[in-house]
Chain A
Amino acid sequence: MTLMTKFLGTGAALALTAGAALADPALIYDLGGKFDKSFNEAAFMGAEEYAAETGGSYKDIELQSEAQREQALRRFAEAGFNPVVTTGFSMSSPISSVAADYPDTKFVTIDGYVDPSEHPNVLSILFSEHEGSYLTGVLAALASDTGTVGFIGGMDIPLIRKFACGYAQGVLATNPDATVISNMTGTTPAAWNDPVKGTELASAQISQGADVIFAAAGGTGIGVLQAAADADILSVGVDSNQNHLHPGKVLTSMLKRVDVAVRESMAQGADLETGVMMLGLAENGVGYALDDNNADLITAEMKSAVDAAREQIIAGEVTVHDYSSDDSCPALSF
């Protein structure tokens, strides 16, 4: 709930400032499209929640081309939408080139980073995916009988390696003898939406002995989860809570609260506090999912282990290495 209070703190103070209510927020989805069952869809859910809770409305657009990134930003800013929320790291560079032209508009880049000293009207929201992944690694290591666990990434980019690296650290911290197998689906954006290949990779990992597989691969992960359920082993979902997809077969999901980030950004409207926001375990920006669907899979022992790990990270007693800080991973080689 720290995330909420952080947003609400600034929001409440300025809630009655004139003009704020006039502007609707806007949301720009990345090229993957609105209904990608993952990242963009989480953003859409957040926007819908905003609309339902506040009764307000919002404008959204699915991009078709690279040149439209800047265009959409400008057209929304010109039309008075505020804030303009965007998803995906690809939006950060267009925002950098546009933000200065519209100083009164607040821009939000989720997963992207824009230097706040250059562009004071931009909020960069980043998630500590490595910390959340660490926790799922801990659970995976405890749930595995074979001592071999798998990771399947989508497109091979540093962000996904960050997931994999955190996961591997969690596994090895729990069971130093465990083996982590890691595969990436591809190197193009198509890798985000290739469930067939996800199934293939999962089958390959299963044949190598993996009995828990973490899929951080967008739509491709659907195939991974399916293959794992079919082979009667466990899988770990990503971004949203995917436990319900195969009840009793999905060990847990690495939660990345894009929906909350979108909802709260929109709720604050024009008075959004800009800068860089790093959402980690402490802020509940990332975490692991526990619900009815996987309650039987997580034993009390496992739960206490993972909660302990969580407390240690928050307290700074354990530091999870962030792959993207130096493009290297101590626990896993790619």
Chain B
Amino acid sequence: MDKMPAWADAVLVPLISILLAALLSALVILAIGESPLDALTLMIEGALMRSSGWGYTLYYTTNFIFTGLCVAVAFHARMFNIGGEGQAMIGGLGVALVCLFIPFPHWSVALLVATLAAAVFGALWALIPAYLQAKRGSHIVITTIMFNFIAAAVLNYVLVNLLRPTGAMDPATATFPAATHLPTFQDMFATPDNPLFRGAPANVTFFLAVLACVAFWLVMWRTRLGYEIRAFGHSESAAKYAGISPVRITVVAMLMSGGLAGMMALNTTMGEAERLVLNATEGAGFIGIAVALMGRSHPVGIFLAALLFGFLYQGGAELALWTSIPRELITVIQALVILFTGALDNMVRMPLERVFLALRKGA
């Protein structure tokens, strides 16, 4: 018997986790002498009450959807890919290379080719840890985290020594040609008398992320591959019994995972910065872990969790702008949410299960 109804597991547990995190954050804010209520109002107004706030929220959301899906694919195959960060960095390199060196006639073509490049580069970066896990039993957690460092070093070398324009200070590529610039929400939705999303970085890749959610669902729950990945994830011995090759599933799942992480770079590199900067990923690969955990590795959950983290990021920026809450404490608040929704999931779940058991007995 399932201990509690599915809706409670999917909705109530994360909701209570968030409330707990919010409560603790409120105490933190109170402790440094600011008003938690004002802070919350500020966050909501800054992130959700203005179209440009939404533009930033959705920009971050796009990143987190991709990295969340990246972690979720691996979760379904019972692997912990903490290498999303590095895979996204290398994906960004792929984006930069095609944008810089292929003369595209139109952004749509550029987006198509860059998507492919980002996915392929990210996937290849995940291939080596996947191979090592599948064939040599090297633990994927260790190898992927190491590959994050290697990715950072590779990117650094390439940017500093190969792709940096002469005389530039930044370890970054030149700005991509105008034909590769993606339409932002401002370009798409703003009218002369209603300047929506002014200056916000959200762009068409958001729709690509939504599309990725749908594709993720289709592949995972409607295709043979997804069936095999999920079966393998639940029981390796059963997978062997059914003739599902652990090596193949491990590698394929990691390729998909790395590809999704790589695609995150479309948003940051092609959509926002329009050039490749050193620190384009900014930890989104790690946030993806929390997003996937909170979203129960399901695309709908991941979308909602990514939205929440997008809100936290944009709201956090607003706090930094208008209050004297130092940025370190804003990071603390974001970390609290990750801690409660990701790591301390069972802390909420177990008492809740007991409550449901008691309720049922009473009924």
Name A's B-contacting residues (CB within 8 A): 31, 33, 61-62, 64-68, 70-72, 74-76, 89-90, 93, 98, 101, 111, 155-159, 187-189, 324-325, 327
A-B contact pairs, 19 of them (CB 8 A): A61-B320, A64-B316, A64-B317, A65-B282, A65-B317, A66-B268, A66-B279, A71-B56, A71-B199, A74-B199, A90-B169, A90-B170, A93-B170, A157-B169, A159-B169, A187-B160, A188-B156, A188-B171, A188-B278
Q: Given that A75-B321, A157-B169 are contacting pairs, would A67 and B201 also be in contact in the complex, using a CB cutoff of 8 Å?
A: yes
Q: Tell whether, in the assembled complex, residue A62 and residue B199 are in contact, meaning their CB atoms are under 8 Å apart.
A: no
Most chain B CB neighbours (cut-off 10 Å) among A67, A111, A325: A67
Our pick among A93, A158, A187, A324 for the contact of B156 (Cβ within 8 Å) is A187
Our pick among A65, A70, A76, A325 for the contact of B199 (Cβ within 8 Å) is A70
Q: Tell whether, in the assembled complex, residue A64 and residue B327 are in contact, meaning their CB atoms are under 8 Å apart.
A: yes
Q: Given that A67-B272, A71-B56, A188-B278 are contacting pairs, would A61 and B171 also be in contact in the complex, using a CB cutoff of 8 Å?
A: no
Counting contact residues on chain B (CB < 8 A from A), the size range is: 35 or more
B273 at the interface (CB under 8 A from A): yes
Q: Tell whether, in the assembled complex, residue A189 and residue B170 are in contact, meaning their CB atoms are under 8 Å apart.
A: no
Collect the chain B residues with CB atoms within 8 Å of residue A74's CB.
52, 198-199
Q: Is the interface of A mostly helix, strand, loop or mixed?
A: helix
Collect the chain A residues with CB atoms within 8 Å of residue B330's CB.
64
Q: Tell whether, in the assembled complex, residue A62 and residue B320 are in contact, meaning their CB atoms are under 8 Å apart.
A: yes
Q: In the complex, what residue of chain A is closest to B55 when comparing beta carbons?
A: A71
Q: How far is the CB of B186 from chain A (nearest CB, A)?
A: 10
B280 at the interface (CB under 8 A from A): yes
- In whole angstroms, what is the CA distance A75 to B198 when docked? 11
Q: Tell whether, in the assembled complex, residue B156 and residue A67 are in contact, meaning their CB atoms are under 8 Å apart.
A: no
CB-CB contacts of B79-110 with A at 8 A, as 1s and 0s?
A: 00000000000000000000000000000000
- In whole angstroms, what is the CA distance A31 to B171 when docked? 14
B168 at the interface (CB under 8 A from A): yes
Collect the chain A residues with CB atoms within 8 Å of residue B168's CB.
158
Residues 26 to 64 of chain B near chain A (Cβ within 8 Å): 52, 56, 59-60
Residues 267 to 289 of chain B near chain A (Cβ within 8 Å): 268, 272-273, 275, 277-280, 282
Q: Given that A74-B52, A188-B156, A324-B167 are contacting pairs, would A64 and B331 also be in contact in the complex, using a CB cutoff of 8 Å?
A: yes
Collect the chain A residues with CB atoms within 8 Å of residue B194's CB.
none
Q: Tell whether, in the assembled complex, residue B278 and residue A68 are in contact, meaning their CB atoms are under 8 Å apart.
A: no
Q: How far is the CB of A234 from chain B (nearest CB, A)?
A: 29
Q: Tell whether, in the assembled complex, residue B170 and residue A61 are in contact, meaning their CB atoms are under 8 Å apart.
A: no
Collect the chain B residues with CB atoms within 8 Å of residue A156's CB.
160
B207 at the interface (CB under 8 A from A): no
Q: Tell whether, in the assembled complex, residue A61 and residue B278 are in contact, meaning their CB atoms are under 8 Å apart.
A: no
CB-CB contacts of B322-361 with A at 8 A, as 1s and 0s?
A: 0000110011000000000000000000000000000000
Q: How far is the CB of A89 from chain B (nearest CB, A)?
A: 4
Q: How far is the CB of B285 from chain A (nearest CB, A)?
A: 14
Collect the chain B residues with CB atoms within 8 Å of residue A66's CB.
268, 272-273, 277, 279-280, 282
Q: Tell whether, in the assembled complex, residue B169 and residue A189 are in contact, meaning their CB atoms are under 8 Å apart.
A: no
Q: How far is the CB of A274 from chain B (nearest CB, A)?
A: 21
B152 at the interface (CB under 8 A from A): yes
Collect the chain A residues with CB atoms within 8 Å of residue B199's CB.
70-71, 74, 98, 101
Our pick among A65, A72, A158, A325 for the contact of B169 (Cβ within 8 Å) is A158
Q: In the complex, what residue of chain B is closest to A62 when comparing beta carbons?
A: B327
B143 at the interface (CB under 8 A from A): no
Most chain B CB neighbours (cut-off 10 Å) among A61, A70, A71, A188: A71
Most chain A CB neighbours (cut-off 10 Å) among B52, B268, B321: B321
Q: Tell whether, in the assembled complex, residue B331 and residue A188 are in contact, meaning their CB atoms are under 8 Å apart.
A: no
Q: In the complex, what residue of chain A is closest to B317 when comparing beta carbons?
A: A68
B166 at the interface (CB under 8 A from A): yes
B227 at the interface (CB under 8 A from A): no
Q: In the complex, what residue of chain B is closest to A31 when comparing beta carbons?
A: B279
Most chain A CB neighbours (cut-off 10 Å) among B157, B169, B280: B169
Q: How far is the CB of B44 from chain A (nearest CB, A)?
A: 16
Q: Tell whether, in the assembled complex, residue A67 and residue B56 are in contact, meaning their CB atoms are under 8 Å apart.
A: yes
- In whole angstroms, what is the CA distance A329 to B169 when docked? 16
Q: How far is the CB of B245 from chain A (nearest CB, A)?
A: 40
Q: Tell whether, in the assembled complex, residue A64 and residue B320 are in contact, meaning their CB atoms are under 8 Å apart.
A: yes
Q: In the complex, what residue of chain B is closest to A90 when comparing beta carbons?
A: B170
Q: How far is the CB of B161 from chain A (nearest CB, A)?
A: 9
Collect the chain A residues with CB atoms within 8 Å of residue B175's CB.
93
Q: In the complex, what residue of chain B is closest to A88 when comparing beta carbons?
A: B169
Q: Tell whether, in the assembled complex, residue B157 and residue A187 are in contact, meaning their CB atoms are under 8 Å apart.
A: yes
Residues 177 to 216 of chain B near chain A (Cβ within 8 Å): 198-199, 201
Collect the chain A residues with CB atoms within 8 Å of residue B275's CB.
93
Q: In the complex, what residue of chain A is closest to B275 when comparing beta carbons?
A: A93
Collect the chain B residues with CB atoms within 8 Å of residue A90's CB.
169-170
- In whole angstroms, what is the CA distance A36 to B60 when docked? 28
Most chain A CB neighbours (cut-off 10 Å) among B60, B168, B326: B168
Q: Tell whether, in the assembled complex, residue A89 and residue B170 are in contact, meaning their CB atoms are under 8 Å apart.
A: yes
Q: In the complex, what residue of chain A is closest to B170 when comparing beta carbons?
A: A90
